[in-house]
Structure 1
Amino acid sequence: MRVLVVTAVAPEAEAVGAADCGAEVLVGGVGPAAVAARTAVALAAGPDRRGPYDLVVSAGIGGGFAPYAPVGSLVVAETIVAADLGAGLPDGGWLAVDELGFGRSGHRPPPELARAAVELTGALYAPVLTVSTVTGSAARAAELTGRHPRAGAEAMEGFGVAEAADLHGLPVLEIRAISNAVGPRDRDAWRIKDALTALTEGFRRLRPLFEGPVPRSALSPSKES
């Protein structure tokens, strides 16, 4: 299959490229808006002599929710959740955008593809949260886990990539290598180099998946609202 991997920044793209997994890599920018725009433009460029894309993958480093996703581990998204797209309530509650009647708050990657990626990489299979502001406090981490108790990771681009892929009728995966724990911001504790190494190894292990045919179950991307 022909795969487009979208990362936020160049070091992540270089880590994926070092895996020699057969995918094309796009640096899409930081945050859901920038990456959605650049992914949509790349997909809209149209098929070339090698044909159109079959799969889009959002990839990079991210924060892991303890104890499920320790630093250096991988997470494959079971669902890609727009975790801060909605409305806060006076009592501290939260309404997701779909609960407000506007759009959707998540995408569910094709389970057959996602589980194959999990089996090849040994990754955790769990929801990945897309946020516009990286979590920097225990209170914010508790808020997120209260709403998403099974969350494995947070990052800033997955939902944007998924929206662009969906516009083109393409299946999407999200794969995150964990560089830090979600919670109080401690930049000295981040292990970006270790996470990038894990990202390279993970994509190296994904080569058999990318070289295979597109599963029929992936031809109609599923949505999570």
Structure 2
Amino acid sequence: MKILVVAATRAELAGCCTAFELAEGNFIQTPHFDLLITGVGMTATAFALGQHLSAATRYKLVLNLGIAGCFDRTIPLGSLVNIVRDDFSELGAENKDEFLTIEDLGFGKSSYTPKDIPSFVHLNDLQLNLPEVSGITVNKVHGNKTSIQVLTSRLSPVTESMEGAAVFYCCAQLNIPCIQVRSISNYVEERNRDSWKIGLAIKNLNDWAIEFLTNS
């Protein structure tokens, strides 16, 4: 069985595409892994991944790769982290100043952790060297001081992406192990593009991914 690599955009994995000489397209197969480009956001991700996994040969692992914003300024920009819990942070209802999660409402689940990787699945140890953190998945990335303070008080997230929890959700439904690795491109703050390090984050992510996929 192979690994399925999942990313929102091809640009985030440009280095991998070059290193492995991958063809253009949203789904590319190689002898050792497949690559699925889903599009940005949880809706596009859930549709593309759910459609593919329901019709595909079984994978031993789904590897979700991408960049992310970070709430923790002790983590340097360009750092890689392993997301071990991801929440749909906006899934619920407002009750005046209180936020009710989908669990509070009795309608489902908003927090997901990846399924443990079975012992028979051989992987290298690269992912064990990455800090394990919690993340949130959002429709709207945060750039307002008040909303950031409310969110951090409620969930204490370390990272923010637009796809992660959707990948965990799909894998949970189909009982497939998953790893989500994110590279920190910016801090979550009032929008300040001059401080972003997207190029550095993408380079570090691709360097790690190339080594991981070469040795797994």
**Pick from 188, 192, 196: which aligns with 2:198?**
192
Residue of structure 1 equivalent to 2:106: 101
**Alignment gaps of 5+ in structure 2:** 21-29, 119-124
**Pick from 63, 71, 87: which aligns with 1:65?**
71
Q: How far apart are the structure 2 equivalents of 1:68 and 1:124?
A: 12
**Aligned 8 A contact 2:13 2:206 in 1:** no
- After TM superposition, the structure 1 = structure 2 runs for residues 1-225 of structure 1, keeping only pairs within 5 Å, are 1-18=1-18, 22-47=32-57, 52-90=58-96, 92-110=97-115, 116-119=125-128, 122-149=129-156, 151-207=157-213, 211=216
Moved over 6 A (4+): none
Normalising by structure 1, we get a TM-score of 0.80
Q: How far apart are the structure 1 equivalents of 2:131 and 2:159?
A: 10
Task: Classify the secondary structure of the residue corresponding to 1:184.
Answer: coil
Q: How far apart are the structure 2 equivalents of 1:117 and 1:101?
A: 39
Sort the Cα spacing of 1:140 and 1:123 in 2 relative to 1 into closer, same or farther, 3 A.
Answer: farther
Sort the Cα spacing of 1:118 and 1:68 in 2 relative to 1 into closer, same or farther, 3 A.
Answer: farther
Q: How far apart are the structure 1 equivalents of 2:141 and 2:2?
A: 31
Amino-acid identity (%): 31
**Alignment gaps of 5+ in structure 1:** 212-225
CA displacement at 1:19 relative to structure 2: 6.1
1:109-147 Cα deviation digits (max 9, x unpaired): 24568xx5542xx42211011011011122222122111
RMSD: 2.4
Q: How far apart are the structure 2 equivalents of 1:152 and 1:68?
A: 10
Sort the Cα spacing of 1:82 and 1:54 in 2 relative to 1 into closer, same or farther, 3 A.
Answer: same
Q: How far apart are the structure 1 equivalents of 2:98 and 2:76?
A: 29
Task: Give, as a single letter, the amino acid of the residue that structure 2 aligns with 1:85.
Answer: L
Stretch moving more, 67-76 or 175-184: 67-76
CA displacement at 1:36 relative to structure 2: 0.4
Sort the Cα spacing of 1:204 and 1:36 in 2 relative to 1 into closer, same or farther, 3 A.
Answer: same
Sort the Cα spacing of 1:70 and 1:55 in 2 relative to 1 into closer, same or farther, 3 A.
Answer: same
